[in-house]
Amino acid sequence: MTKSLERYEPMHGWCNRLLRVDLSARRIWVEPTAPRVPDWLGGRGLAARILWDEYPEPVEPYDPRNPLMFFPGALTGTISPYSGRTSINSYAPQAYPYQWFTRASVGRDWGVALKRAGYDGLIVTGASETPVQLVIQDDVVRILPADDLWGLDAVDTQDAIEAAYGRSVRTLTIGPAGENLSRIATILTGTTSVAGQGGFGAVMGSKRLKAVAVMGSGRVATAEPDRLRDLFKAVGDAVRGDGMHGTPNLERLNQRLVEEGGGKARLAACTASCPTPCAIEYSGVPGCARQREWSTGVFCVGGTAHGIRGNTAYDWELPTRAVVEINAISNRLGINHWDVMIAMVPWLRACQRESLLDTLNGRPMVWDDAGFWVDLFEDMAYRRGVGDALAEGTLRAAHQLGVGVDLMRRYYTGWGYAGHWDGHGCLQNRIVYPFWLVSALHWMADTRDPASNTHGYVQAVMQWGPFGYGGRHGMTWDDMRGIGERVYGRADTIDPLSGYEGKERPAFYHGVRSVMKDVLPTDDQRFPLIYTLAEPDRLFRAAGIEGPDIDAALLRAGTGLDWDTAALERACQRVLQLERANVVRQWGRDRRMDESVLPAFMYDENWVNPLLGERQRLDPDRFGPLADAYYQRCGWDVATGWPTPERLAALDLADVHAPMVAGAEAARARLPELPDEAPIRDIHVADPERQPEPAPQS
């Protein structure tokens, strides 16, 4: 099937063309983006609007009607810093107990290629009876057979497509895990960048869509290209000079590789238009379990494969070349590292210590053996033996196998996702009371693990403040309190001796900013640009602009929109409200559902605030008023958690309220009650990693 598509009048930033493909009908068409922008900006904003317009009721993730949406941002394809990410949105196989519509994102430059081909986004519906690939080359779009690609791993698939179309092609692919409908299957571009959370690789697999290849030869027009270029340079210079930006010691790392048998490490950017590359890419690294060389990156949680000394969930030690091999194979197979490393591995080790599981498919669980890891990932990807259950993700696997369900609950915070910057479920992200109260509010309100979009508070306060690296460079709590006053309007929002009061402010602020990061897009690890050690007041600045205002300046230079920060924040609030309205309309989501995540915070935290000296846990009586304040700030009814008609009207969304309420009432009639969960049993109370730390001087 081949289609030549018309173009519409382009805009600054936006191509004004949305590509749609129905694989069941073998239909390809386009429509203008202009009716939906600038109001809905891009990324998850466009996804939320289209879902509201076209899906009054939910569909199952593997239903052919499930829309798989790929949306770069308004500035993707330009030189705006860190603007290469693409938002992927769909009904999520990984989600639990409700498989609602949510999001992931992928880096590198696939989104850049799509914008340069002249599209602001791609929506795929339907399902092919046989494997297919979607090939987009500017105005020509083809649905082609992919029988020869089906069964290949994700990187080999990209290599085969590059051999067919040349080195300029950029491809999203799935591996065997996606083909076999693993609920933790990923979508990969390059050797490393994945849309991990949500299980969207399985959605592609259910549609028999092996790959989406793009070749774009155009350019994205910008309103003020010189201004955008100046901002790119200024932001990059300021980040590099912030006193905390660092890069790995490549000399030492490459020497280690030589000692282990070969290979090379280099710095790389994880997304297009990155002015400060800091990721590590490996090439030519000999494997430990397989007789071949591997090339991949080791990002984020992938480094956990090394092991972590003193942490009983990860107390093994593997060489660098084994870690590279494990990451390369799991990326190629298409398996979500986060679920495996943060939940599955600690759960399996807990079951091992409790003598509930000794072997997997007849093999002893030997964690410092690279061969065991490779077998584990292959068993999941191909659903071999117990791997068939593990492919469903740890949460469902525990239930399916009937093993260690109470232990599994320890690692899952909510909605089917393992802990992340929550201070409880995740044993790696060190965060202490009172800062994880903001995490609890975010987990309550979201449809997935929220922390990939809310690092700006939960990670930044720990890393920039005296409890983290900032303390080594002179950052004081007075500095942090000053930032709290400037950014959130209250000094105690970043005060280690504060309590519940005021934490709704940063929770709301970063909920809005999470949208901003996805619709422009910008880099989650850097934006919002708040902290620096280079300024006396510790507030980030570049090109004479205060950090929190740089996002609007980038949008203005890219699109020509005369929006200040308040106008951009209002647009992002509209996205948040429509996302909430969607989940209320389709699932009857209410405050009772939101609060179902709170038991994950009602046992002792993993780490101790050194200034308090004792572990804290969530107090429901004190948290209730905080949640009230958060709902009020969001514009949600305190009793129901639904967007109020007054707030919707204030955001020009008055027509949303009536269908939202009608849909919620219908959803309540058809949906089952929330399942009764097993109690959470904390077996880590005696771990050395979790012992109280000596209290330093305040």
CA atoms within 13 A of residue 593's CA, in its CB half-sphere:
24
Q: Evaluate if residue 693 carries a pLDDT over 60.
A: no
Query: Which has more confidence, 251 or 676?
Result: 251
Look up tokens 């300024």; give the residue: 535
pLDDT value of position 460: 95
pLDDT value of position 691: 55
Give Dmax (Cα) for the chain.
70
pLDDT value of position 63: 98
Identify which of 497, 685, 520 has the alpha carbon closest to the alpha carbon of residue 607: 685
**pLDDT tens digits, 389-443:** 999 999 999 999 999 999 999 999 999 999 999 999 999 999 999 999 999 999 9
Q: Evaluate if residue 688 carries a pLDDT over 80.
A: no
Which amino acid is present at 455? H
Give the three-class secondary structure for 25: coil
Give the least confident one: 199-203, 472-476, 635-639, 661-665.
Answer: 472-476
Sign of the torsion formed by the C-alpha atoms of 8, 12, 15 and 18: negative
Give the least confident one: 24-38, 215-229, 236-250, 319-333.
Answer: 236-250
Q: Evaluate if residue 42 carries a pLDDT over 80.
A: yes
pLDDT band at 695 (very low <50, low <70, confident <90, very high): very low
How many Å apart are CA 633 and CA 651, to the nearest integer? 14
Task: Report yes or no: 200 and 193 within 8 Å, Cβ to Cβ.
Answer: no
pLDDT value of position 625: 98
Task: Report yes or no: 520 and 75 within 8 Å, Cβ to Cβ.
Answer: yes
The H or E element spanning position 69 is strand 68-72
How many Å apart are CA 640 and CA 591, to the nearest integer? 5
Identify which of 589, 599, 581 has the alpha carbon closest to the alpha carbon of residue 653: 581
Identify which of 383, 368, 363, 268 has the alpha carbon closest to the alpha carbon of residue 326: 368
Written as one string, the DSSP assignment of 246-274 is ----HHHHHHHHHHHT--EEEEE-SBTT-
Q: Evaluate if residue 689 carries a pLDDT over 70.
A: no
Query: Which has more confidence, 447 or 694?
Result: 447
pLDDT value of position 697: 38
pLDDT band at 694 (very low <50, low <70, confident <90, very high): very low
Find the DSSP H helices in 651-697: 657-670
Q: 103 phi and psi, to 5 degrees?
A: -145, 160
Task: Report yes or no: 454 and 514 within 8 Å, Cβ to Cβ.
Answer: yes
Give the least confident one: 213-217, 684-688, 693-697.
Answer: 693-697
Cα angle for residues 454, 460, 464 (degrees, 5° grid): 175
Find the DSSP H helices in 446-605: 451-458, 460-464, 477-488, 504-519, 550-559, 565-587, 591-594
Q: Evaluate if residue 214 carries a pLDDT over 60.
A: yes
Q: Evaluate if residue 696 carries a pLDDT over 70.
A: no
**pLDDT tens digits, 508-551:** 999 999 999 999 999 988 999 999 999 999 999 999 999 999 99
Q: What percent of the chain has pLDDT over 70?
A: 98
Task: Report yes or no: 335 and 327 within 8 Å, Cβ to Cβ.
Answer: no
pLDDT value of position 698: 35
pLDDT band at 690 (very low <50, low <70, confident <90, very high): low
Q: Evaluate if residue 278 carries a pLDDT over 90.
A: no
* pTM, to two decimals: 0.95
Give me the domains of the chain, ranges plus CATH numbers: 2-215 (3.60.9.10), 246-414 (1.10.569.10), 419-526+589-665 (no CATH)
Q: Evaluate if residue 598 carries a pLDDT over 70.
A: yes
pLDDT band at 487 (very low <50, low <70, confident <90, very high): very high
Residues whose CB falls within 8 Å of the CB of residue 439, separated by 6 or more in sequence, listed in order: 421, 422, 423, 431, 450, 451, 454, 458
